[in-house]
Chains A and B, each alone.
Chain A
Amino acid sequence: MPCNWQAIVDTWEASRPGRMNVRKLVHLAMRMDSYDESLISSNIFKQKRKSYEDTLTALAIQVGCRRGRGVATGSVLSDIKRESNSEATGIVNTYNCGLAHAVNAIYEQNKFGNRHYYAKFLQIWDVKRMEWKSKQISMHNLLGWRNRATQDFIKYNDLTGTTELYPQDTGVNAVCKHWRARGLVSISEVENIMDDWPIHANCPHDWRIFVGKVRDCDSLWLGRDPLYYGARELEIAPKTDVLSIV
């Protein structure tokens, strides 16, 4: 359940409704707004797209095709955009919620602190928070869309082989531990759940595939919409078929 920072801010003025109090004033000045949200969204969109396209390019090389760079287009871009906007909203909300708690903590230390007092402490708080939060966001963007690209690459190129969760010897989550314990598994077994990773906060895992070389590099799917390739792509089994096999 997302944090409701507005509710926290509202409690501050409960004793004197309608009058501007210090905490509310500070929060108003320091909170992230729609402008910040659009900046964040734009930034993580770029990161996700790059991750997706780089993964496609790398996988093409892995299957023996140096045909060019992977491209995210159409529905993939729409998905990336939708996810970026949604995550940016969440990031801003989480920030504003954390800010409310930070302002409260700083206020409790000194109820009559001046603007510079708040500015100094909040600057420290922000820098310190962003130091790890930005890493967390970046790792999520990198691995999330790497797994999605792997899944799409397998699906649209109709590849078979094995896969395993990487890196090894890490994992605090039960699901990650389970798949780590399984080691190499058939691609078809996990093809439809690959894009669930990262499945928890700070999850460092992505699926590495082991497939043979592709003979027809010209028809290798590298990110275009399936319709771009004509009837051949239409014959590719959709997810539902895979599920029925499982």
Chain B
Amino acid sequence: MVNDNGNDARLNVPELVNAESFTIQDHPTQEPLIGGIWNLPMTLFSSEQVAPGWDTPDRSVWMRRFWRAFGNDMLAAVLATAAAKVQTQNWTMAGPEKLSRYYHTVFRDQADFYRGWGNLMARGVVDYYTQDNGWFIERLRSSPEDLSGPCLGLAHLDSQRMFPSGNAEYPWYYHSAYGQYRLLHRSQVIRIVDLPDAATNLHDSQLGFCALSRTLSTAIIMTLIVTMKREKLSDLPPSALAVFNNISRKQFESAISLHGVQEDNKGNTVWREILPLFGIDPQHPAQIQFISLREVWEGFDDQTAANIAAYSFAAGFRMDPREFWPVSAGPLGTGKEAEIQHQKAKSKSTGLLFTELERKLNSGNTLPEQLLFKFEIQDMEEEAQRAAIHQTQITNIKGMQDAGANLSAEEIRYLLVKQYKVLPRFMMTPPAEGEKIEIGDIAYYDDVERQATKEYSRFGRDVIIHANGQIVKPIGIRRTRLSFKESMGEHLDSMVGSLDQADQDIVKGDSADLRDESTLDSRIEKLSAIPDDVWDLAIELEHEVASAL
């Protein structure tokens, strides 16, 4: 939809003023909701500690309530850690400047109806880890009926309100807070499921087996242990049988009653005095014997139990236990072992989530094809491994040369670029004389192989915008020709060529001497050795000047 000014009217929408008009979701206002948000079918026999079956519809509701239940401290901490990791992960938006700026704002500030990127991620991560149905995001367009226009925003969809339709084109129903069911087109929904079911099912409706499902037994045991400790430490009666010997029920109840009256008279509502019970027959002293119904087994160690739970949660959430629990010693917690686990976990848990998110957001239904959304994940271990592999590959090439392969520079370049991927692609063709490509941020950017097209050129030159708003303008794949005095050189060559051969040789030799004795290298070294702080100050000044202009 290009207007007379050559601008895409939809992309020029400055902000989503009436965000609700773009979505199929209902949001509670001052009007009371019909039935309330929890008015969904419940299994009659579900209880706090017995989860509904994996594929039963009320499991999601139970799960959402369960992880917030008393005693689930460690589970909640794991979830909070996972959410924080995703929320705080820096990302970049790369592409034409105007488009990048627009979608950077859409993602960072306007996402989830102006709640922002952090909110969208936190809600989504909780659904991803606690709901077998997965994480749903709605792509907002100019209207719910617009299925092919540019995506103008993202909003969280409550996983519990999503039901499969069985239709490939419109695979999901959204169950409105007002009780209506609305069909969603596949282009309107992003869904990320943890460990999806392999069984044949309705279109796009495979349930996953979320992290909470994978650690449910551990979580339930932890809630029981915490509950038991609470009972032990508080004045609440423990879950037990009380056997009274040599005292009648009437005597006990009257003693309780009398004690209560006396304490009330004294005004002791919190700190009460000891309840006295008197036996009548000295031969048969009054006794109350407790037979506890909730006991830990012999040899139970609280710390070991907590550690095992931490490892169980870590495995279930594909995380490093050290991220939420201070594992420091023991056969599973030595420094080296924990380090290895940490490195492995980094690429498993949130790494999986980041990859999925990047794919969905860059799929073409969300961002224009010229934009690239990317999480900035730096894995030192992986980079070191890659460097070692590259080293081996370069050594291989050297070995081939030594063995008489006699590879040309072009052939070696081909191996390094195409085969081994040691060099970025744009170095496949060596720069022409007088031209040079700067290898900096662009090396990363070049990886996307998104060529600037005329269609997108009106959105400005390519930039990379970080989540925090920092804009990097790559100096680019753009090749630069320096203004040499080419004509001067050519003319001179013809003049030198007119000399006698002997004179030409003298000029050639003398000029080579002049060049050899040039101090260029030392001056380049001097330039490269300018201290960082001095250079930073100078660059800072350039930024000041640029902003002042």
Instruction: Please tell me which one of the listed residues A134, A136, A142 contacts residue B515 in the complex, with CB atoms under 8 A apart.
Output: A134
Q: Please, which residues of chain B bring their CB within 8 A of the CB of A139? A: 492, 495-496, 499, 507
Whether A43 and B541, one on each chain, are in contact in the complex, defined by CB atoms closer than 8 angstroms, is no
Q: Which residue of A lies closest to B513 (CB)?
A: A43
Q: How far is the CB of B213 from chain A (nearest CB, A)?
A: 50
Collect the chain A residues with CB atoms within 8 Å of residue B548's CB: 15
Q: Do A134 and B511 contact each other (CB < 8 Å), given the known contacts A26-B527, A124-B482?
A: yes
Residues of B within 8 A of A128 (CB): 434, 482, 484
Check B539 against A22 for contact (C-beta < 8 Å): yes
For the complex, give the distance between the alpha carbons of A170 and B499 in Å: 10
Is A179's beta carbon under 8 Å from chain B? Answer: no
Residues on the B chain within 8 Å of A44, using CB: 514
Check A6 for interface membership: any CB of B closer than 8 A: no
Complex alpha-carbon distance, A142 and B506, angstroms: 8
Which of A39, A120, A204 sits near B496, CB closer than 8 Å?
A: A204
- A105-B527 in contact (CB<8A): no
- Kindly specify which of A68-76, A106-114, A211-219 makes contact with the partner chain: A106-114
Is the CB–CB distance between B440 and A132 below 8 Å?
no
Contact of B436 among A21, A29, A30, A120 (CB under 8 A): A120
| Chain B min CB distance to A111 (Å) | 5
B480 contacts A by Cβ under 8 Å: yes
Query: What string of 1s and 0s marks CB contacts (under 8 Å) between A118-129 and chain B?
Result: 111111111111
Interface status of A246 (Cβ within 8 A of chain B): no
Total contacting residues, chain A, CB less than 8 A:
61
Is B484 in contact with A135, judged by CB distance below 8 angstroms? no
Residues of A within 8 A of B492 (CB): 132, 135-136, 139, 202
B499 shortest CB reach to chain A, Å: 6
Whether A20 lies near B538 (C-beta < 8 A) is yes
Complex formed: what's the CA distance from A112 to B513 in Å? Answer: 36
Point out the residues of chain A lying under 8 angstroms from B524, CB to CB.
30, 119, 122-123
**Which residues of B sit under 8 angstroms from A30, Cβ to Cβ?**
523-524, 526-527
A20 engages B534 (CB within 8 Å): yes
B438–A20 CB distance below 8 A: no
In the complex, number of A-B residue pairs with CB atoms less than 8 Å apart: 158
Partner of A167, one of B436, B498, B535, B539: B498
Question: Could you tell me the distance between the alpha carbons of A123 and B528 in the complex, rounded to whole angstroms?
Answer: 12
A135 to B508, CA, bound (A): 7
Q: Across the interface, do B491 and A112 meet the contact criterion of CB distance under 8 Å?
A: no
Question: Are A114 and B535 neighbours in the complex by a CB distance under 8 Å?
Answer: yes
CB distance from A164 to the nearest CB of B (A): 14
- The minimal Cβ–Cβ distance linking B232 to chain A, given in whole angstroms, is 64
Interface size of B by Cβ–Cβ distance < 8 Å?
53
Residues of B within 8 A of A47 (CB): 510, 513
The yes or no answer to A19 lying at the interface (CB within 8 A) is: yes
Among candidates B438, B489, B517, B534, residue contacting A25 with C-beta atoms closer than 8 Å: B534
Q: Which residue of B495, B507, B510, B527 is within 8 Å of A29 (Cβ)?
A: B527
* Chain A residues within 8 Å of B545, by CB: 15-16, 21
Is B518 positioned at the interface, with any CB of A under 8 Å from its CB? yes
Asked whether B519 is an interface residue with its Cβ less than 8 Å from the other chain, the reply is yes
Within 8 A of B (CB), among A120-168: 120-132, 134-139, 141-142, 167
A142, B510: Cβ atoms under 8 Å? Answer: yes
B546 CB-CB contact with A under 8 Å: yes
Contact with A along B499-512 (1 / 0, CB 8 A): 11001001110111
- Among A25, A106, A132, A167, the most chain B Cβ lie within 10 Å of the Cβ of A132
A138-B507 in contact given A35-B519, A43-B517, A110-B475 (Cβ < 8 Å): yes
Cβ of B441 to closest chain A Cβ, rounded Å: 11
Q: Across the interface, which residues of B come within 8 angstroms of A137, CB to CB? A: 511, 514
For A102, the chain B residues whose CB sits under 8 A away are 482
B535→A36 contact, CB < 8 A: no
A111 touches B546 (CB 8 A): yes
B528 contacts A141, C-beta separation under 8 Å: no
Q: Are B511 and A135 in contact (CB under 8 A)?
A: yes
Q: A21-B538, A111-B542, A112-B543 are in contact. Are A119 and B527 (CB under 8 A)?
A: yes
CB A198 to nearest CB in B, in angstroms, measures 10
Minimum C-beta distance from A52 to chain B (A): 13
A6-21 vs B, CB cutoff 8 Å, 1 = contact: the mask equals 0000000001100111
**B498 CB contacts on chain A under 8 angstroms:** 167, 170, 204
Contact A121–B475 (Cβ < 8 Å):
no
Residue of B nearest to A198 (CB): B495
Q: Which residues does chain A contribute within 8 Å of B473, judged by CB atoms?
A: 110, 112
Q: How far is the CB of A59 from chain B (nearest CB, A)?
A: 15
Which of A119, A126, A138 contacts B514, CB < 8 Å? A138
Neighbouring A residues of B475 by C-beta, 8 Å? 109-110, 113, 117
Q: Given the complex, which residues of A lie within 8 Å of B496, measured CB to CB?
A: 135, 139, 204
User: B residues within 8 A CB of A121?
Assistant: 436, 480, 482
A116 at the interface (CB under 8 A from B): yes
CB-CB under 8 A from A182, the residues of chain B are none
Asked if A239 CB lies within 8 Å of chain B CBs, one says no
**Any chain A CB within 8 A of the CB of B520?**
yes
Task: Return the chain B residue nearest A16 by Cβ.
Answer: B541
Residues of B within 8 A of A36 (CB): 519
Q: Report which of A25, A120, A122, A135 forms a contact with B507, defined as CB distance below 8 A.
A: A135
B313 to nearest A CB, angstroms?
45
Interface string of B438-482 (1 = CB under 8 A from A): 101000000000000000000000000000000001010000101
Contacting residues, chain A, for B523 (C-beta < 8 A): 29-32
Least CB separation from B475: chain A residue: A110
Answer yes or no: B340 CB below 8 A from chain A CBs: no
* Residues A19 and B546 in contact, CB atoms below 8 Å apart: no
CB-CB under 8 A from B513, the residues of chain A are 43, 47
> Of A106, A118, A130, A204, which one neighbours B518 at CB under 8 angstroms?
A130
**Residues of A with C-beta under 8 A to B438:** 110, 113, 117, 120
By a beta-carbon cutoff of 8 Å, the part of chain A in contact with chain B is 15-16, 19-22, 24-26, 29-32, 35-36, 39-40, 43-44, 47, 51, 102, 105-106, 109-132, 134-139, 141-142, 167, 170, 202-204
- Using A25-B534, A30-B526, A135-B511 as known contacts, list a sample of 7 further A-B pairs with CB atoms less than 8 Å apart, ordered by residue number in A: A15-B548, A25-B530, A47-B510, A112-B539, A116-B528, A124-B436, A167-B499
11 A-B Cβ contacts within 8 A? Answer: A26-B527, A30-B526, A102-B482, A110-B438, A115-B527, A117-B438, A117-B475, A128-B482, A138-B511, A142-B510, A203-B495
B interface residues (Cβ-Cβ under 8 A, vs A): 434, 436, 438, 440, 473, 475, 480, 482-485, 488-489, 491-493, 495-496, 498-500, 503, 506-508, 510-515, 517-520, 523-524, 526-528, 530, 534-535, 537-539, 541-546, 548
6 tightest A-B CB contacts, nearest first: A138-B510, A134-B511, A132-B489, A134-B514, A29-B527, A110-B475
